[in-house]
Amino acid sequence: MLSSLPEIFFGLLAISVLSGLFLLHPRVPLSFVRLHVGVTLLPPIAALLALVTNHETMIYGPWRLDSLSWLLALFVLTIGFIVQRYSVRYLLGDRSYRKYFALLTITTTADSGVWLSNDLRLLLVCWGVTLLGLTLLIGLKKEWGVARNAAKQSGRLFALGWLILLGAVIWITQATGHWQLSLVLTESSLAQLDSWEKTCINLLLILAVVIPAAQWPFQRWLLDSVVAPTPVSAVMHAGLVNAGGIILTRFSPLFSGDIAQIVLLLLSSVSVMIGTGIMLVHVDYKRQLVGSTIAQMGFMLIQCALGAYLAAIIHAVLHGLFKSTLFLQAGSVLHHHEESTSRKNQPTPLVWTITGGILGLLVAIGLWMSAPGEGYQLISALTLGWSVSFAWAQLVAFGSGRIGRIAGFSLLAGAAIVYSLVHDAFYSVLQDTIPQGIQTPAPAAVLLLIILLAGSAAGVWLARHRSSSAYALIYLWLVRLGEPQNDLVESHPKHLTQSFFRGGHLR
The yes-or-no verdict on residue 507 having pLDDT over 50 is no
Residues 377 and 453 placed together within one structural domain of the fold = no
Residues 217 and 252 placed together within one structural domain of the fold = yes
Angle at 51 between CA 50 and CA 53, to 5 degrees: 65
| Position 390 confidence tier, pLDDT thresholds 50, 70, 90 | low
Residues 310 and 243 placed together within one structural domain of the fold = yes
**Three-class SS of residue 65?**
strand
Report d(CA 275, CA 118) in Å as an integer: 34
Average pLDDT over residues 243-257: 83
Per-residue pLDDT, 370: 63
Question: Does some domain include residue 16?
Answer: yes
60 forms bridges with which residues in the sheet? 63
Question: Does some domain include residue 460?
Answer: yes
Per-residue pLDDT, 340: 45
Residues 350 and 212 placed together within one structural domain of the fold = no
The yes-or-no verdict on residue 198 having pLDDT over 80 is yes
Work out how many domains the chain is built from and give that number.
3
Q: Please report how the helices 97-116 and 42-53 are oriented relative to each other, as an axis angle in degrees rounded to 10.
A: 20
Examine the fold and report which residue of 68, 87, 117 is the final residue of a domain before the chain moves on: 117
Residues 186 and 47 placed together within one structural domain of the fold = no
Residues 96 and 160 placed together within one structural domain of the fold = no
Question: Does some domain include residue 167?
Answer: yes
Give percent of the chain above pLDDT 90: 22
Residues 161 and 186 placed together within one structural domain of the fold = yes
Angle at 381 between CA 376 and CA 383, to 5 degrees: 95
Rounded to two decimals, what is the model's pTM? 0.83
Element (H, E) at 8: helix 5-23
Examine the fold and report which residue of 84, 117, 150 is the final residue of a domain before the chain moves on: 117
State which residues form the domain around 231. 139-329+441-483
Instruction: Supply the DSSP string of 204-241, one letter for each residue.
Output: HHHHHHHTTTT-TTSTHHHHHGGGS-HHHHHHTTTTTT
63 forms bridges with which residues in the sheet? 60, 117
| Position 35 confidence tier, pLDDT thresholds 50, 70, 90 | very high
* Residue in 144, 135, 100, 109 with CA at minimum distance from that of residue 39: 109
Number of other residues whose CB lies within 10 A of the CB of residue 369: 10
H helices of 41-176, in order, are: 42-53, 67-90, 97-116, 120-138, 145-176
Residues 400 and 349 placed together within one structural domain of the fold = yes
Question: Does some domain include residue 503?
Answer: no
Residues 167 and 203 placed together within one structural domain of the fold = yes
Instruction: Supply the DSSP string of 187-212, one letter for each residue.
Output: HHHHTTS-HHHHHHHHHHHHHHHHTT
Residues 155 and 25 placed together within one structural domain of the fold = no
Question: Does some domain include residue 347?
Answer: yes
**Three-class SS of residue 63?**
strand
| Position 375 confidence tier, pLDDT thresholds 50, 70, 90 | low
Number of other residues whose CB lies within 10 A of the CB of residue 25: 9
Question: Does some domain include residue 477?
Answer: yes
Instruction: Supply the DSSP string of 347-380, one letter for each residue.
Output: PPPHHHHHHHHHHHHHHHHHHHHHSTT-HHHHHH
Residues 308 and 372 placed together within one structural domain of the fold = no
* Cis before 435? omega within 30: no
**437 vs 291 pLDDT, higher one:** 291
Write the single-letter amino acid at 246.
Answer: I
Q: Which residues contact 83 (CB under 8 A, 6 or more apart)?
A: 104, 231, 234, 235, 238, 324, 328
| Position 395 confidence tier, pLDDT thresholds 50, 70, 90 | low
Instruction: List the single range of 60-64, 128-132, 310-314, 464-468 with lowest mean pLDDT.
Output: 464-468
Per-residue pLDDT, 462: 67
Residues 197 and 316 placed together within one structural domain of the fold = yes
Mean pLDDT for all residues in the chain: 80
Average pLDDT over residues 183-188: 86
**138 vs 343 pLDDT, higher one:** 138
* Residue in 67, 69, 42, 41 with CA at minimum distance from that of residue 53: 67
Examine the fold and report which residue of 85, 117, 149 is the final residue of a domain before the chain moves on: 117
Report d(CA 244, CA 297) in Å as an integer: 8
Report d(CA 335, CA 82) in Å as an integer: 23
Average pLDDT over residues 13-37: 91
116 in Cβ contact with 64 (< 8 Å)? yes
Backbone φ and ψ of 490, nearest 5°: -130, 120
Q: With the CA atoms of 251, 255, 256 and 257 taken in that order, what torsion angle do they form, in degrees rounded to the nearest 10? A: 160
Question: Does some domain include residue 124?
Answer: no
**HSE on the CB side for 416, CA within 13 Å?**
17
Question: Does some domain include residue 133?
Answer: no
| Position 504 confidence tier, pLDDT thresholds 50, 70, 90 | very low
Number of other residues whose CB lies within 10 A of the CB of residue 197: 13
